[in-house]
Structure 1
């Protein structure tokens, strides 16, 4: 590796470490949110019961998601076996940082100059950086495993060990979400059919890859069948798929109009940067075309599904980053007026968020945002390249999200741990605890299970002569 590449690699590593430093604060302080308690309680009950094959929520079988993400949370829980918010979210944060590194390494092989833009487009878009990098949800681990399958395959598709390792990654991704093949095979198949000179050989390799990728989910299905739980799980999955495939004509039309705009918004600032500094792709090899096909097909599939959300496209974001890096003219100078206006808007966002916090007596975080906005305004005085502008913009906005939005959530979202501690002191060791199956009580259930060292029971699925009831 020559000195220039070594410097760029060191810069990429520094950026990943800085991203970790930005994202780590409040990881453990944020109360449970969204579906996080459900993911955590499945892992918690795996630890408490030793039953790792069939996920359960309050001892009731939960078959909407395969268990690999829950296994990862259980592994991260530590020696005491208690699932805490920071440990559950650390799985997503680690996957997020590894994903950025994998995108950088893959692009650097073909276009070293485009690798920094690919890394930034992966690590600093709002969908991944602002939301799912710090949630105890399966989406980030799913995106990492799916992309690792692509990463290994693209580096050496002709060798059987690489093919087997890639298929193992994809099979593992299927154990996070069953739709993983939709983000892997379409782009590769389309490239093999339309552009590859050795079409037949590539298609045969992909067929072998698909066969080997089924091994991990089939092993899990066999374990479920051995416990007599496979048919109920398949019935739940079929009902879930059928429910997502329906929708009125009006819902379809509204989704067709709204989904592209929502996707543009959650990928900011990179769609705007790409529009401003677009160029023809200088090299259009297998990496470019497979990424373009994979991103376009994933977008088209979820555009036609009225129930689709932006997070469903998380595994396609690395493909978007690769295509963006090919077309993004990172070294082009930004016109002074455009740079000034762009950074003025960015700095105002930091100042507004800081003023909001300061008005509520939150001084340290407000000062961080004021310093970030001032630094951005000072940087605007020099001539910037588009890549530098993207880095400054993303840096300020991520600080606003971390020390503004996330910190403010820690102050107004009710924590469930104090209530769980109060309840744990009143519960006798041998008496079962039933809980009403409401999403709002799952955070309390996770914390209470960890404190009393045994699982709670779903009120709709269990009944005992003597019991405690939480409602």
Structure 2
């Protein structure tokens, strides 16, 4: 009819080609700043362990500044080391690439978990566009996304374990997950045990199968512990591991209550924007209809039990919940509305709000000299506004919204961080050039945290030699880098470094200890 407005729908094709294009798109953007951006938070610690393995030529005992590191098993460090072996040195790119590959690999295998490929597409995109996976950790040199991937792959082959070989592969992945963070059984066995208990069909057989799976998964972790005991103090390792776990389980009454209140919010933000869908479309009736579906029920129970465990333990953080993300995606793929149209008011508010952020931040980066990146942000903001002309199904809109949020993060906030984070590569080089005798060993003050590890890592990269912590000082003639203005009488101050506006003043001493 004349004058009637044509409705233009936006709908993603649920097929492997679309998923593959999305994975390639994500990979290209995730890798843009991986080498340029300085390592921060815990990233230098994960990297220096691999770097010292490369320097020592010994790979069993993790060390940080030659001091044995007990808090994490070394699988992530081994992978970083393997990548560094190719080029002969460990770069930021090497340190972050395992997380990018793990993230994309999980999305890839989620697609093939389902016989219904359209549903597999939905599950994969939910995982690939969740905040905690895509934006927070997809390209960080931290073990969480690798840990998540290994637990999911263990589950994937468990579901496919019609043959003994797949069952063994599943247990191997579980063992590798233990070699990454150690607590992987929390995200796997409780939910499966509950499912087989509720099902009441061959519970004893399935329970014994799980026990056998767990025993097999211990082979590689026990082998590493055996080799570790040959070279270092195993009791200290086990004590630190147990203290790390127990510290997550205790806290003051007020802290426990606060955690019980705040952790659900953290989990909600971690799984944003899909947590919104889960809350508003969760249907008990539909869940009852799906209770005989093993894929749905095992994933749902793994997700719920993980959530409850992390909520009860006061030391649980939002990122600790990440291994539950693939199971959340599987669960939601059964519940996600297939044909619900998004309300125009939500579409307008969300797109206009995100576009405003694009335009405001673009002027900020242009003002600071990043003209090209600012223009890119403006173009993306205009492109986002063009998407207002479409009507959306809920699922398609959340994917589009997540992609533009991701692009803003990569080409806006990530660019900003790349140019404002403390650049210890430059600081380390400046200090190294001021050493009178570059042959002397270097010690970095342990209390200089988190600067301690970042500075030490970059000095090791420059010198190709170990930097020591104060706990393992062996040489009698060395340089000490600290933030203290006064140290022992055996150390003479040779210079101070006001290296950067966002880094504390660093004092460099020449120390000669008496025999």
Q: What is the TM-score of this pair, normalised by structure 1? A: 0.93
Residue 61 (str. 1) matches residue 68 (str. 2): yes
Residue 435 (str. 1) matches residue 435 (str. 2): no
Match of 1:49 in 2: 56
Q: Which digits, 9 at most, give the CA deviation of each residue in 1:317-369, with x for residues without a partner? A: 10111111111114322233332233223323323332332343432222222
C-alpha change, 1:207 and 1:242, in structure 2 (3 Å) is closer
Match of 2:165 in 1: 161
Which of the numbers 287, 300, 306 marks the counterpart of 1:298? 306
Larger strand proportion of the pair: 2
**Structure 2 Cα separation of the partners of residues 240 and 423 of structure 1:** 35
C-alpha change, 1:419 and 1:335, in structure 2 (3 Å) is closer
C-alpha change, 1:275 and 1:300, in structure 2 (3 Å) is closer
Larger helix proportion of the pair: 1
Whether the 8 Å CA contact 2:65–2:467 is kept in 1: the answer is yes
Whether the 8 Å CA contact 1:89–1:135 is kept in 2: the answer is yes
C-alpha change, 1:249 and 1:278, in structure 2 (3 Å) is closer
- Unaligned 5+ segments in structure 1 are 1-5
Whether the 8 Å CA contact 1:329–1:386 is kept in 2: the answer is yes
Deviation at 1:400, TM superposition (A): 1.1
**Structure 2 Cα separation of the partners of residues 136 and 228 of structure 1:** 26
- Count of residue correspondences: 463
Q: Which segment drifts farther, 377-386 or 204-213?
A: 377-386
Q: Which segment drifts farther, 336-345 or 381-390?
A: 336-345
Residue 209 (str. 1) matches residue 213 (str. 2): yes
Residue 129 (str. 1) matches residue 134 (str. 2): yes
Match of 2:118 in 1: 113
Deviation at 1:372, TM superposition (A): 2.1
Deviation at 1:461, TM superposition (A): 2.2
Q: Which segment drifts farther, 71-80 or 386-395?
A: 71-80
**Structure 1 Cα separation of the partners of residues 338 and 83 of structure 2:** 38
Deviation at 1:305, TM superposition (A): 1.5
Whether the 8 Å CA contact 1:65–1:176 is kept in 2: the answer is yes
Deviation at 1:424, TM superposition (A): 3.8
Q: Secondary structure at the match of 2:471?
A: coil
**Structure 2 Cα separation of the partners of residues 241 and 273 of structure 1:** 33
Q: What is the TM-score of this pair, normalised by structure 2? A: 0.86
If you compute each CA radius of gyration, which structure gives the higher value, 1 or 2?
A: 2
C-alpha change, 1:78 and 1:432, in structure 2 (3 Å) is same
Q: Secondary structure at the match of 1:263?
A: helix
Match of 2:204 in 1: 200
Deviation at 1:278, TM superposition (A): 5.7
Match of 2:5 in 1: none
C-alpha change, 1:272 and 1:451, in structure 2 (3 Å) is same
Q: Secondary structure at the match of 2:454?
A: helix
**Structure 2 Cα separation of the partners of residues 267 and 349 of structure 1:** 21
Which of the numbers 251, 257, 270 marks the counterpart of 2:274? 270
Match of 1:347 in 2: 355
Q: Which digits, 9 at most, give the CA deviation of each residue in 1:252-287, with x for residues without a partner? A: 111111111122122211112444566636755111
C-alpha change, 1:65 and 1:341, in structure 2 (3 Å) is same
Which of the numbers 17, 20, 33 marks the counterpart of 2:27? 20
Which of the numbers 140, 147, 162 marks the counterpart of 2:152? 147
Match of 2:180 in 1: 176
